[in-house]
Amino acid sequence: MNSAAQRIGIWIIAIVMTVGTIGSFALIIISNENAKTEQARITKLQADYQAKVDAQTKDLSNKYYADLAGYQSQAAPFDAGSVRSLSSVDLKVGDGDVLTAKSSFSAYYIGWNPSGKVFDSSISNGALKAPLLVTPGGVISGWTEGVVGMKIGGIRELTIPADKAYGATGQGSNIPPNTPLKFVIMAVPTPPTIPVPAELLQYYQSQYQ
């Protein structure tokens, strides 16, 4: 009897352990499937959001590309030693709001150094990238001061001395220390913000908690 009872007890333990193991595997499988479903959902949300951003960027490029592209030839060598103060020339006068040093606006641009090397540009592969949102204090002082009096829709060439650009620090190999710069800037209305889906925001926040 004792032997039979022991065997029954062992079988019960084995069954419980087997069921528990199967249950654990099932939970793992369910968890993995849920994770895959969630990741697929996040991937789709990311793709849909990026598609909207890309569509807006393309629409804006179609609207403004020809205007800015016509001034690519402005990027040419210039005498660095002659640049002693900030100066500007309006290439096209806009018809929108007048900018001040406290204005926030969007811009397309072409920037080059004294050798004529374009170190940064909104033009890429025959189209415009998304416009740069310009805010007070968010750009070099030569931009902040140089756009004062410019109107939205206008295009202006700025000649910026080193102390109002990147100064004694410089910025990468194309902007050595104490280098004056030139820019063609096109000020445009800031496009509507495309909201990030709430579920996507929650996902991003959870990744950094």
Catalytic residues: 109, 119-120, 140, 166, 183
Q: Are 118 and 103 in contact (CB under 8 A)?
A: no
User: Token pair for residue 120?
Assistant: 């940064």
Using CA atoms, how far apart are residues 178 and 163, in angstroms rounded to an integer? 7
Q: Are 125 and 157 in contact (CB under 8 A)?
A: no
Using CA atoms, how far apart are residues 70 and 6, in angstroms rounded to an integer? 92
Using CA atoms, how far apart are residues 41 and 16, in angstroms rounded to an integer? 37
Taking the chain, what is the end-to-end CA distance rounded to the nearest angstrom? Answer: 59
Within 8 A by CB and 6+ apart from 139, the residues are none
Beta strands at 127-128 and 123-124: parallel, antiparallel or unpaired:
antiparallel
Nearest CA-CA partner of 200 in 37, 45, 13: 45
Using CA atoms, how far apart are residues 121 and 110, in angstroms rounded to an integer? 4
